[in-house]
Amino acid sequence: MTLKYSSSSSSTFLYKNLRNTFFNEDGVTLTLLIISAIFAIFWYAWMFTRSKRQKCPSPPGPRGLPIVGNLPFLDPDLHTFFATLARTYGPVLKLQLGQKLAIVVTSPSSARQVLKDHDVTFANRDVPIVGRQITYGGRDIVWTPYGPEWRMLRKVCVLKMLSNTTLDSVYALRRRQLRETVGYIYTRAGSTVGVGEQLFLTILNVITNMLWGGAVQGDDRASIGAEFRQVVSEMTELLGTPNVSDFFPGLARFDLQGLVKKSRALKNKFDKMFDLMIDQRLKMDRECGKESKDFLQFLLQLKDEADSKTPLTMIHVKALLMDMVVGGSDTTSNSTEFAMAEMMNKPEVIKRAQQELDEVVGRDNIVEESHIYKLPYLFAVMKETLRLHPALPLLVPHCPTETSTVGGYTVPKGARVFVNVWAIHRDPSIWKNPLEFNPERFLNSKWDYSGSDFNYFPFGSGRRICAGIAMAERMFLYSVATLLHSFDWKLPEGQKVDLTEKFGIVLKLKNPLAAIPTPRLSDPALYE
Ligand code: HEM
């Protein structure tokens, strides 16, 4: 090290003193002390101004590494991982995921604060890059920020596709699809059937029929159904995978895990199908001037008439189709598959549900949707299934538009907030024997899923509550009632039901349920 110093003796003396002070052994200690003191003063000053700014402390959470924070320690099964952390750090905890702060909420009172007390503040989304990719830039209901555009999209869907009145008017479509499924399973009596696959296909067909009048039929049924299910399932899995690009936006262009590339490929498959349907619909209207009653027709009309304040564009139309196809099918079919698996694991539950069906419907009749409201035990089965396996175990993450207080802790603006409904539904202080599948707990009970009870809210709560509850309820009850009423089910020789869950934004069975149906109705004509 070279230093210039003056030739005067006093400055030489000063320099020597300074050198001795800073570079001797004692000097090193002193230097360290001074640096530490300066650091401490700055740190206290920073903490003081911060605590003045945020009246409440930051939530506790596990310590992470510099730069990457807790990212290296994330377990892919986020719902169980977050539940374990909550046992140590409490109902509001934080994780630093690269540059992103995640807050995990795991108690009824903190969930209420997020979804009800501060509903408007938290009614936004922190859109993951994959979500944006799949939904045409996040222009769908799920990812659009709370505001006029979101209100317009939600109103269009709820009024024209998902309301009880619309659903009543297209009951014939649901009936036809379910009858086809029953007919198909009847042909497979005695052999192994992919239960979830059949349920998925039924629900997908109902949805696509409502959207554009199309369904997968005949010989294509099994193969296209399986392919579609795979694509939808991959999409929801990608949406649940922590993505480095979300946590380090500077790295997004490198797409280090290849998630954007994968999601683009999946989206393109759907996009081609949507283009085809839209072209066909426009051509049909031009040639025949025919007014059809499906949702796509309505959307295209609305697009042309849209008012300029919140116009409905072609991008919106496609993004809504994506929400309905992906959001509606995987959630409902996985829930019904869980229900069938849980019941097969507890034959006394199947027996009781079938008894109820025999009393209400009879063995020489078929289930109609109107029967489902007379089946309290089956309704309890549905509620219990959604308690143990809520389709979206962490809801869709919320994001506050301003810094707020939850459970006495500061949640900063822009954080990604996970509400662990899965863990709340298994909390032993709320539920007796929480891990047991016991529909009886919902018989004659006050629990409902309207979003007003924060001990039980499988569809979420507040402004962002699920838009498809009425449809999910009908499809779940009608299809499970039909499968149980029409067939007895057993597992292939030597197999056991595997109830292991697989995490994704939508929860599913790790190993799909395969079972053997045996017809149980009095007349083969009831399977036609
Ligand atoms: C068992 C079936 C279903 C369950 C358990 C379920 C559950 C949920 C949950 C928990 C949310 C997120 C709520 C939040 O972020 O706080 C949600 C959002 C949503 N669901 Fe469902 N859902 C189901 C079926 C459906 C169906 C059949 C449709 C439509 C066809 C649908 C459409 C939507 C839409 C559009 C949203 C986004 C709402 C928004 O952000 O404003 N869901 N659902």
CA of 4 to the centre of ligand 1 (A): 72
CA of 458 to the centre of ligand 1 (A): 9
CA of 89 to the centre of ligand 1 (A): 29
Does ipTM top 0.95?
A: yes
Task: Kindly state the tokens that stand for 411.
Answer: 């949640």
Q: Which atom of ligand 1 is nearest the CA belonging to 475? A: 27
Residue nearest ligand 1's atom 9 by CA: 459
Distances (CA, A) of 282 to 19, 65, 233, 301: 85, 56, 30, 10
Amino acid making up residue 242: P
Sequence-distant (6+) residues with CB within 8 A of 484 are 343, 350, 353, 354, 357, 378
pLDDT attached to residue 224: 60
- For the chain, the straight-line distance linking the first and the last C-alpha, in angstroms and rounded, comes to 94
Give which of 137, 124, 125 is closest to 319, Cα–Cα.
137
Pocket lined around ligand 1, Cβ cut-off 6 Å:
141-142, 154, 162, 323-324, 327-328, 331-332, 335, 386, 391-392, 395-396, 458-460, 464-468, 471-472, 476
Distances (CA, A) of 142 to 121, 123, 321, 327, 456: 16, 11, 12, 9, 21
Q: Which domains does the chain have, with CATH numbers?
A: 124-527 (1.10.630.10)
From 174, 419, 466, 478, give the residue whose CB has the most ligand 1 atoms within 8 Å, as the site to mutate: 466
* Reported pTM: 0.88
DSSP state of 492: -
What residues are designated binding site for heme?
A: 466
Distance CA 77, CA 504 (A): 8
Q: Which atom of ligand 1 is nearest the CA belonging to 392? A: 10
Residue nearest ligand 1's atom 18 by CA: 466
pLDDT attached to residue 18: 39
Q: Which atom of ligand 1 is nearest the CA belonging to 457? A: 10
CA of 525 to the centre of ligand 1 (A): 37
pLDDT attached to residue 107: 98
CA of 40 to the centre of ligand 1 (A): 49
Torsion of CA 525, 489, 329, 363, to 10 degrees: 40
From 331, 332, 420, 469, give the residue whose CB has the most ligand 1 atoms within 8 Å, as the site to mutate: 331
For the chain, 528 residues long, give each residue's pLDDT as a single digit of tens: 333 333 344 444 434 443 444 445 555 566 666 666 665 566 555 555 555 555 799 999 999 999 999 999 999 999 999 999 999 999 999 999 999 999 999 999 999 999 999 999 999 999 999 999 999 999 999 999 999 999 999 999 998 889 999 999 999 999 999 999 999 999 999 999 999 999 999 998 898 888 887 655 555 555 666 677 788 888 888 988 999 999 999 999 999 999 999 999 999 988 988 888 888 878 777 776 656 678 888 888 888 876 667 889 999 999 999 999 988 999 999 999 999 999 999 999 999 999 999 999 999 999 999 999 999 999 999 999 999 999 999 999 999 999 999 999 999 999 999 999 999 999 999 999 999 999 999 998 778 899 999 999 999 999 999 999 999 999 999 999 999 999 999 999 999 999 999 999 999 999 999 999 999 998 999 998
Distance CA 500, CA 267 (A): 28
CA of 459 to the centre of ligand 1 (A): 6
What residues are designated binding site?
A: 466
Give which of 497, 510, 419, 477 is closest to 123, Cα–Cα.
419
pLDDT attached to residue 364: 94
